[in-house]
């Protein structure tokens, strides 16, 4: 009963660790054999009988009977007189099987045995956990916020597994409280010692791609293919999509009526602005589409250097560059070309002055604000609507009107 009672106490781990009984018994046998080796020097002459259905276990020690005074190895041999204390009719040369009670191993050995078992079960759990999450790298996963730290958010899933969402893998606008459900992709599983560390990401392009698969049935079914995704997390993203079925409009299917389908994805990503673009193998057309919402006049491509000169009317330049240069940067990443903007216009219109030339009259932080939305010359600002500039920058209307006045004076002079 001692063995059975100990196994039952060990079996508590089965419920805590979700380890099946058969695996537990295999670990038990391994642990007990190690204990026997330490106690007796060898476990070769021991039989360990485990019944996984009942959770019962017996340890039997097998020794050969030798004449009194001729015992050379007490572990594998027993004297005739000692054997006859077990059974009175034993003879020299016969084998004696004697049950070993756990108490015979000693109290310290039993404590060490328990610690060894705990270690083995943790090792088994960690191996299974590593394999489980290694298989779902790149998939969307949901977990609950357990602890918010300065450099990472610690999440816990339904099975109690700990997942790390590092600060650099969070969208800048992300704000989490304990108990919040968080979605991201499993980006990596790293072994820290023997313990696997599961890394989640919300900034990966793969996360946006997987959100499209979840939210748009045609993408999930393979009717629409995502060719490439580029993004500046929390700011802007461009997704190139294609369909082999001419009856399907891939952009329309992804965006939905009045943006109904893509709205959930935008909200999940902290209102990240997402441009969905029709993919094409026509490089000029693809670059033109990638620079949306700007209307491109013409494109000159240098295949060798992978550069392209993009010709735009003055009023389209700021749209092509975008706030903070995000639009042209992502268009370049999406197409694989370094894009140079060339301003078009008649000679009178081409007469322009860099905004930096006005640094003695306009403060540098104001010049920087205009540069963020791609406006770096006098005419590029004068061609804009004042209310539109108020909306697109962090500048007051009064400040913008003063800048416009200074710039107009330059050209009047």
Is residue 4 very low, low, confident or very high in pLDDT (cuts 50, 70, 90)? very low
Asked if pLDDT for residue 3 goes beyond 70, the answer is: no
Average pLDDT on 199-215 reads 95
Quick: pLDDT tens for 144-164: 999 999 999 999 998 888 999
- Do residue 36 and residue 155 come from a single domain? no
Residue at which a domain ends, from 131, 159, 174: 131
Domain count along the chain: 4
- Do residue 127 and residue 141 come from a single domain? no
Residue at which a domain ends, from 184, 201, 218: 201
Q: Residue 383 belongs to a domain with what CATH number?
A: 1.10.150
Average pLDDT on 194-210 reads 92
- Do residue 267 and residue 189 come from a single domain? no
- Do residue 332 and residue 213 come from a single domain? yes
Q: Residue 93 belongs to a domain with what CATH number?
A: 3.30.1480
Q: Residue 319 belongs to a domain with what CATH number?
A: 3.30.300.20
Quick: pLDDT tens for 271-310: 999 999 999 999 999 999 999 988 999 999 988 888 999 9
- Do residue 280 and residue 358 come from a single domain? no
* Bridge partner list, 142: 183
- Do residue 11 and residue 27 come from a single domain? yes
Q: Can you give the three-state secondary structure of the chain, one letter per residue?
A: CHHHHHHHHHCHHHHHHCCCHHHHHHHHHHHHHHHHHHHHCCCCCEEEEEECCCCEEEEEEEEEEECCCCCCCCCCEEEHHHHHHHCCCCCCCCEEEEECCHHHHCHHHHHHHHHHHHHHHHHHHHHHHHHHHHCCCCCEEEEEEEEECCCEEEEECCCCCEEEEEHHHCCCCCCCCCCCEEEEEEEEEEEECCEEEEEEECCCHHHHHHHHHHHCHHHHCCCEEEEEEEEECCCEEEEEEEECCCCCCHHHHHHCHHHHHHHHHHHHCCCCEEEEEECCCCHHHHHHHHCCCCCCCEEEEECCCCEEEEEEEHHHHHHHHCHHHHHHHHHHHHHCCEEEEEEECCHHHHCCCEHHHHCCCCCHHHHHHHHHCCCCEHHHHHCCCHHHHHHHCCCCHHHHHHHHHHHHHHHHC
Rounded Cα distance between 230 and 332, Å, is: 10
- Do residue 213 and residue 302 come from a single domain? yes
Q: What is the pLDDT of residue 284?
A: 92
Is residue 218 very low, low, confident or very high in pLDDT (cuts 50, 70, 90)? very high
Is residue 370 very low, low, confident or very high in pLDDT (cuts 50, 70, 90)? confident
- Percentage of the chain surpassing pLDDT 90? 39
Contact 124, 27 (CB under 8 A): yes
The top-scoring range by mean pLDDT among 12-16, 207-211, 321-325, 340-344 is 207-211
- Percentage of the chain surpassing pLDDT 70? 84
Asked if pLDDT for residue 8 goes beyond 70, the answer is: no
Asked if pLDDT for residue 109 goes beyond 70, the answer is: no
Contact 256, 230 (CB under 8 A): no
- Do residue 335 and residue 210 come from a single domain? yes
- Do residue 374 and residue 337 come from a single domain? no
Structure tokens at 245: 């079925």
Quick: pLDDT tens for 303-356: 888 899 999 888 888 888 888 889 999 999 999 999 988 887 654 445 677 888
Residue at which a domain ends, from 147, 175, 201: 201
Q: Which domain holds residue 62?
A: 2-131
- Do residue 215 and residue 315 come from a single domain? yes
Evaluate if pTM is beyond 0.85.
no
- Do residue 231 and residue 112 come from a single domain? no
- Do residue 408 and residue 278 come from a single domain? no
Cβ neighbours of residue 25 closer than 8 Å, sequence gap 6 or more: 50, 52, 55, 57
Q: Which residue has the higher pLDDT, 237 or 37?
A: 237
């Amino acid at each position: 009963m001692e063995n059975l009672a100990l196994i039952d106490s060990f079996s508590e781990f089965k419920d805590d660790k979700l380890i099946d009984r058969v695996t537990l018994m295999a670990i038990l046998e391994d642990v007990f054999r190690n204990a026997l080796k330490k106690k007796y020097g060898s476990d070769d002459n021991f039989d360990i009988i485990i019944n996984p259905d009942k959770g019962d276990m017996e340890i039997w020690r097998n020794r050969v009977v030798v004449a009194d005074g001729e015992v050379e190895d007490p572990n594998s041999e027993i004297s005739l007189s000692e054997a006859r204390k077990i059974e009175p009719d034993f003879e020299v040369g016969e084998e004696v099987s004697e049950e070993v009670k756990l108490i015979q191993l000693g109290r310290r050995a039993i404590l060490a045995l328990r610690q060894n078992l705990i270690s083995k079960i943790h090792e088994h759990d960690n191996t299974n956990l590593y394999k489980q999450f290694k298989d779902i790298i790149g998939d969307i996963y949901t977990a609950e916020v357990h602890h918010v730290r300065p450099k990472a958010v610690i999440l816990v899933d339904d099975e109690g597994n700990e997942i790390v969402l590092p600060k650099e893998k969070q969208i800048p606008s992300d704000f989490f409280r304990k108990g919040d459900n968080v979605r991201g992709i499993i980006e990596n599983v790293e072994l820290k010692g023997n313990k696997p560390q599961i890394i989640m990401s919300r900034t990966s392009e793969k996360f946006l791609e997987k959100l499209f698969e979840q939210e748009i049935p045609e993408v999930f079914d393979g009717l629409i293919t995502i060719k490439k995704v580029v993004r500046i997390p929390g700011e802007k993203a461009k997704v190139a999509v294609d369909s082999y079925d001419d009856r399907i409009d891939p952009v329309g299917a992804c965006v939905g009526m009045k943006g109904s389908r893509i709205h959930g994805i935008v909200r999940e990503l902290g209102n990240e602005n997402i441009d969905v673009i029709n993919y094409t193998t026509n490089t000029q057309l693809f670059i033109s589409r990638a620079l949306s919402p700007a209307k491109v006049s013409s494109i000159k491509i240098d295949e060798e250097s992978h550069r392209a000169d993009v010709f735009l009317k003055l009023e389209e330049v700021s749209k092509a560059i975008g706030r903070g240069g995000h639009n042209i940067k992502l268009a370049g990443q999406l197409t694989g070309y370094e894009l140079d903007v060339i301003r078009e216009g008649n000679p009178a219109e081409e007469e322009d002055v860099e905004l930096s030339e006005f640094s003695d009259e306009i403060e540098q932080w104001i010049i920087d604000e205009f540069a963020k939305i791609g406006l770096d010359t006098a005419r590029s600002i004068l061609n804009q609507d004042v209310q539109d500039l108020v909306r697109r920058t962090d500048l007051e209307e009064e400040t913008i009107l003063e800048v416009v006045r200074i710039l107009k004076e330059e050209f009047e002079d």
